[in-house]
Structures are given as C-alpha cells and as structure tokens.
Amino acid sequence: MSSTEFQRPTALQDFPIVVRIPIQWGDLDAYGHVNNVVYMKWFEHVRCLYGERVGVEVVSRDSGTGAIVASVQCKYLRQLNFPGDVAVGVRVCRVSIGSVSLECLIVDEATGVPAAQASCDVVLYNFAQQKPVPVPDAIREAVEKLEGKSFPV
C-alpha cells in the first residue's frame, strides 16, 4: 500500500496527526521484535510533527526557546515484528499555563490493534535563562484549532 492509499486505523480517528511508518529490519532487537527504544523514536517523530503544525520550533533562533519533554510514560501493549507498517498518532489532551500534555498511540496497520500508548508532558524552555516559559497564546490557539476544541486554563 502506498502512502497515498494510507487509511487511518479506527483507533486513530480522533488524532489530528497520524503518520504511517514502515518497520525496518534494523528496528528489531535480539528477540526478533521491535525494540522498545524504537517506539519512543516514533513517538518523538509525531510530537515534532505536531509542534511544527502549531508553530513550536525545536529551538527558536529569535527567542532561544524550545520545547522539551518534562515526562513521558509508555504502556507497551503488544509486540511488533518485521515486515510491517505502523500508524502513529498524536493529540493534545491538556494545555496549562506552562505545559502541554499529549497522548500518542502506535497501531499495527495489519491488524488495527494498538501496540503502544504513551503520555507526554512538554514544556517550553528558555535555554539562555535556563527556565520554563508560559505557553504562548498563539500556540494555544493553534492547538485548539487543530484539535477542534478549547483547552481552558
């Protein structure tokens, strides 16, 4: 199936950002399944795509501010093997004054069954001042537009 034929799995219907990722031979560990670190790389990939969509730069050259992960938790639900493809989705579940909480889901494309679920808290951080900064209104508004709902503080 080509990228143009990609159909979003049912489990990811409410996720505004979903990408298809092929499982590569090098993703496997000694047990013959996808290594747990690879799941985290896939989560990182969709988090960064989400940030790009809402205007969060990795590190802003103007302000020296960037997004950093404050916490991440992952539940591994089933093994994934080569060959195959996964669909990885991300959505925001909370926006506070100082952080954004995201949910990520990896779905085995062949079965439509979730393989891993992660939650992540991201803060905007000023690297020059070495301290977190509030989530700007422009980013909150972009998140609300993408998600189709509001996130009151």
- Please confirm whether the linkage preceding 83 is cis (ω < 30° from 0): yes
Average pLDDT over residues 132-137: 94
pLDDT at 26: 97
Q: Given this model, what pLDDT does residue 87 score? A: 98
Q: Which residues pair with 67 in a beta bridge?
A: 124
User: Where in 36-143 does DSSP place strands (E)?
Assistant: 65-76, 85-95, 99-108, 113-126, 131-133
pLDDT digits 0-9 by tens, 86-98: 999 999 999 999 9
User: For residue 113, is pLDDT > 50?
Assistant: yes
Instruction: Give phi and psi for 7, each to the nearest 5.
Output: -115, 130
Tokens representing 130 are 């070495």
CA distance 15 to 114: 13
Q: Which pLDDT value is given to residue 4?
A: 47
Average pLDDT over residues 111-136: 95
Report pLDDT digits (tens) over 11-51: 999 999 999 999 999 999 999 999 999 999 999 999 999 99
Question: Is the predicted pLDDT of residue 54 greater than 90, yes or no?
Answer: yes
Cβ–Cβ < 8 Å for 80, 108: yes
Condensed to tens digits (0 to 9), the pLDDT of residues 55-85 reads 887 666 677 888 999 999 999 999 999 999 9
Domains of the chain: 3-147 (3.10.129.10)
